[in-house]
Amino acid sequence: MERINSLMQLLTYLVNFSEAELEIIASCFKPKSFNRNTIILEREEVCKEFYFVYKGCLRTYFLDIEGRERTRYIMLDFNIGTALSSFIYENPSFEYLDALEDTEVLAISYSDFYRLNKELPNWTFFYQKILEMAYSFQNKRIEDLIMLSAKERYEQLIKERPEFIKRLSNKIISSYLDIAQETLSRLKSK
Amino acid sequence: MERINSLMQLLTYLVNFSEAELEIIASCFKPKSFNRNTIILEREEVCKEFYFVYKGCLRTYFLDIEGRERTRYIMLDFNIGTALSSFIYENPSFEYLDALEDTEVLAISYSDFYRLNKELPNWTFFYQKILEMAYSFQNKRIEDLIMLSAKERYEQLIKERPEFIKRLSNKIISSYLDIAQETLSRLKSK
């Protein structure tokens, strides 16, 4: 119950859902668990689930031409998301989705997600917020990567997402900030 | 009338609007014209309009630390868009919006856009499609910039957007593909 209550809290924070709507939504989410370092979605697989992370850490990333991991998005406790581009269009995914910690989620299937989108106007507004946030986040990321130095990006992360620094390995943080691991170690030691 | 008919065509292509809905929507769009090389939205200004380009070319771009233009999005005839991040959140814009050609548009104001979003469910679905496309486009751009060489990006543009090559200057194309102008000239001459 605690898991579903947390999700309901997040949902009502974003949109003014009625009790009846929340009940319908709650019935669509199923609990799942992933062990640390499990790949949940492989490249070329179609992403068929959307997640609420109750506890743990999910991440989307892709491999560049040299086979290096490029981390796109990180979801810690009480965050929502998925490999969104693949999920939206039912396309083979370019990115991977994995669990970086032992992770407990609530998952909603593609078919339930888009059925709610048709049937519950407030779910449509919830999905709108998700898309608006995802787009703006992506835009901001591109701007930061171009406009800020490695040091500035690291300092911004300390300020805005201190929990990332505490919980994620140097490997993950450096791939998220797009800086070399040695640079990150140097910045951390200062 | 031709302008509004083109917009209605695009809207019904994307969402199954009723005649009555189209009439309400049409009444919200106002014709506007911009001369070639006019900046429509300055940095730090809040973007308060969303555009349907009937004829011409609008573009969003920002300046990097060296003051170079980085082109983000290009709208030729029968395209829609705006400086979306600023428009969504009424934030001071990080990007500029300019007209690269003499351009005729239909513009809808922020207040009308989000009033329709509340009042017309089909407009909400239209906006959802815009956001889904914007997000996926952005994602694909990042992947291409990382995964493809300058040559491959240029060849992809020839294949997917041949009209860009015909209508845009080398300066704009190179800033869109994130390659040096000299590299673009070399690729073009081959």
Each residue's pLDDT tens digit, A108-143: 999 999 999 999 999 999 999 999 999 999 999 989
Closest residue on chain A to B119 (Cα): A121
Domain annotation covers residue A131: no
What's the rounded Cα separation, in Å, for the pair B161 and B20?
A: 35
Q: Could you give the number of structural domains in chain B?
A: 1
Report CB contact under 8 Å: A132, B131: yes
Burial of A131 (0-12, 13-18, 19+ CB in 10 A): buried
A94 and B132 within 8 Å at the Cβ level: the answer is no
Identify which of B64, B131, B132 has the shortest CB distance to residue A146.
B64
Cβ neighbours of A138 in B, within 8 Å: 135, 138-139, 142
pLDDT digits (tens, 9 = 90+) for B155-186: 999 999 999 999 999 999 999 999 999 999 99
For residue A79, tell me if it sits in a domain. yes
Interchain pair A143, B89: CB under 8 A: no
pLDDT band of residue B190 (cuts 50, 70, 90) is confident
Contacts of A142 in chain B (CB under 8 A): 138, 142
The DSSP element (H or E) to which B131 belongs, if any, is helix B121-147
B120, closest residue in chain A (CA to CA): A121
Supply the pLDDT for residue B75. Answer: 98
**Looking at the domain assignment, is residue A190 inside a domain?**
no
**Measured distance CA(B63)–CA(B69) in Å, rounded:** 5
Q: Confirm whether B129 is domain-assigned.
A: no
In a domain, A107, yes or no: yes
Q: Retrieve residue B44's tokens.
A: 């730090």
Q: Reduced to 3 states, what is the DSSP secondary structure of residue B105? A: strand
**Number of separate helices (H) and strands (E) present in chain A:** 9, 8
Write the CA distances from A19 to A23, A31, A63, A101, integer angstroms.
Answer: 6, 21, 43, 33
Which of A85, A121, A136 lies nearest to residue B139, judging by beta carbons?
A85
> Is A65 in Cβ contact with B147 (below 8 Å)?
yes
The DSSP-derived string for B22-89 is: HHHHHHH-EEEEE-TTEEEE-TTSBP-EEEEEEES-EEEEEE-TTS-EEEEEEE-TTEEE--HHHHHH
Considering the domain boundaries, does residue B108 fall inside one? yes
Beta-carbon separation of B88 and A135 below 8 A: yes
Q: Which residues contact B47 (CB under 8 A, 6 or more apart)?
A: B41, B82, B83, B84, B86, B87, B93, B97, B110
> Does a structural domain hold residue A52?
yes
Provide the whole-model pTM.
Answer: 0.96
User: Taking Cα atoms as reference points, which of B101, B102, B116, B59 lies closest to residue B82?
Assistant: B59
Q: Which of A134, A142, A147 sits opposite B135 (nearest CB)?
A: A134
Q: Are A31 and A105 in contact (CB under 8 A)?
A: yes
DSSP letter at A92 equals B
Is the CB of A136 less than 8 angstroms away from the CB of B65? no
CATH assignment of the domain containing A69: 2.60.120.10
Residues of B in contact with A143 (CB under 8 A): 62, 94
Nearest CB to B132; choose among A64, A70, A88: A88
* Residue A72 Rama label (left phi>0; alpha psi -120 to 50; beta): alpha
Establish if A183 belongs to a structural domain. no
Q: Is the pLDDT of residue B1 over 90?
A: no
- Provide Rg for chain B, Cα atoms: 17
Domain extent at residue A24: 2-122
Give the model confidence (pLDDT) of A43-94 as tens digits.
999 999 999 999 999 999 999 999 999 999 999 999 999 999 999 999 999 9
